[in-house]
Amino acid sequence: MDAKGPDFMFEGMLVGFFKADAAPAVDGSYSYEPYRGPGHYRMQTELRRSGSARCYYLSGSQRVSFTVSACPEYGMLQLTAFQPEAAGAEPAAQKPRAFLPAGLAALPSAVLLAMNTLSWGTTDWDTIVLAFQIATYAGLAIALLAIYLAIRQFRRSGSHTALGISVAIALGFIVWVGPDAYLDLAAALSSAGP
């Protein structure tokens, strides 16, 4: 049986372990044993999609990042661009933006609240109503996008907290403006009828 080297990860998910006593540290081909799970699948998917996948392993108190540039055969990886980092550090390119969907979900509410405090400088109510309708429908689309992004981020090893906050903010906006949007849409459809 081959000696077991360190486990390595892609986007925080286990991919497999190297079949060596020593961890790889220089460019070259290395044998590994994959784990059956989402980490290995997503690494291989990224490798096929972009031609490389950035992974890492822990060596004592140090994190060593490297690029998988090829998988010439089952159980073999071509590795390049080794870079030691402090343990717990995450490269800027792969840092999860856990609360980005929450900020996106909060945007429509902030826009509508700002619109409510504006001095419009006009008494043309049709223009004001149209501006609110556009903001409402765009906000609903953004809220749905924020929910999608929050779920996607969670599936990519995001946190429950970020998912909960993002979905709660987006659903709060949908509950706030949804009835008005539904009534506007129903009125438009009934007036367009025969």
DSSP letter (8 states) at residue 118: -
As for how many domains the chain has, the answer is: 2
Per-residue pLDDT, 94: 47
Work out the pLDDT band at 8, boundaries 50, 70, 90. very high
Highest mean pLDDT among 24-33, 94-103, 177-186: 24-33
For residues 124 and 171, state if they share a domain: yes
Number of other CB atoms surrounding residue 44 within 10 Å? 16
Expressed as residue numbers, the domain containing 134 is 97-191
What is the average pLDDT score of the chain?
Answer: 83
Nearest by Cα to 81 from 27, 24, 43, 32: 27
Q: Is residue 155 part of a domain?
A: yes
| CA 145 to chain CA centroid, nearest Å | 12
Q: Give SS3 for 158.
A: coil
End-of-domain residue from the set 52, 78, 93? 93
For residues 11 and 80, state if they share a domain: yes
Question: With contact defined as beta carbons under 8 Å apart, do 31 and 47 qualify?
Answer: no
Q: Give yes or no for residue 95 having a pLDDT over 60.
A: no
Instruction: Report how far residue 129's alpha carbon sits from residue 124's, in angstroms, rounded to the nearest whole number.
Output: 9
What is the percentage of the chain residues whose pLDDT exceeds 70? 87
Average pLDDT over residues 122-146: 85
For residues 102 and 186, state if they share a domain: yes
Q: Give yes or no for residue 116 having a pLDDT over 90.
A: no
Q: Is residue 2 part of a domain?
A: no
For residues 23 and 86, state if they share a domain: yes
Comparison of pLDDT for 55 and 94, the residue scoring more:
55
For residues 89 and 105, state if they share a domain: no
pLDDT digits (tens, 9 = 90+) for 33-56: 998 888 899 999 989 988 999 999
Bridge partners of 34? 16
End-of-domain residue from the set 64, 93, 122? 93
Q: In the chain, which ranges are continuous DSSP H helix?
A: 38-50, 100-117, 125-155, 160-191
DSSP letter (8 states) at residue 16: E
Nearest by Cα to 34 from 75, 6, 65, 63: 75
